[in-house]
Structure 1
Amino acid sequence: MSDNDGGRRKNLRMPDDDEVFATVTNMLGANRVKVRCADGTERTARIPGKMQKRIWIREDDVVLVEPWDWQDEKADIKWRYDKQEADQLRDEGHIQ
């Protein structure tokens, strides 16, 4: 990180061991979205109840998902990054 970032860099929530970055590709309805994960897998992700009313998730949003242990093609959304945070993750090379 360079010194010329103007002090705008935030400490962002990074993935735990069982979480991966993902980009929302399609809204499926019924609190489900299609995501493309950083590990190259397309998954159906569930928006948990505590996020449904407070956080709006749209296509092209960058999110953190936790893939299910017993069904790898499904996941739960754990966190959504706003546009500035997603840009910072791209600048720092964490996501494409």
Structure 2
Amino acid sequence: MPTVSEESGRRNLRMPNDDEMFAVVTDMLGGGRVRLQCNDGKERMGRIPGRMRFRTWINEGDVVLIEPWDWQDEKADIEWRYKGQDADQLRREGHID
């Protein structure tokens, strides 16, 4: 759960590791799959893992944290979904377009 800094109102959010990046969901494909526009400029097919499938609803326009597959670069697993105000903070700070 993100914490809020008292003086600035900035929330401490989960940031990507070395093998993760930000992406925006552009299309829902069905079957736990989504189309993603990634921060590196590539378009990938994302997979919603079972641990998130029924607990976290993902919609078009959501900002997510993904981990591209090592063996197939055009696909990725979704690791985290940012809520609206968290996504707005990431945009303000210049992490995503």
Q: Which runs of 4+ in 1 moved over 6 A?
A: none
Equivalent position of 1:83 in the other structure: 84
User: What RMSD, in angstroms, separates the aligned Cα atoms of the two structures?
Assistant: 1.3
Unaligned runs of at least 5 residues, structure 1: none
The change in CA–CA distance for 1:88 and 1:15 in structure 2 (over 3 A counts) is: same
What are the superposed Cα offsets for residues 33-67 of structure 1, whole Å, 9 maximum, x if unpaired? 00000000100000000001110000000000000
Counterpart code for 2:66 = V
Percent identity at matched positions?
66
Q: What CA distance in whole angstroms lies between the structure 1 residues aligned with 2:46 and 2:63?
A: 13
Alignment of 1:1-80 (within 5 A): 7-80=8-81
The TM-score with structure 2 as length reference comes to 0.91
Unaligned runs of at least 5 residues, structure 2: 1-5
The TM-score with structure 1 as length reference comes to 0.92
How many residue pairs were aligned?
Answer: 92
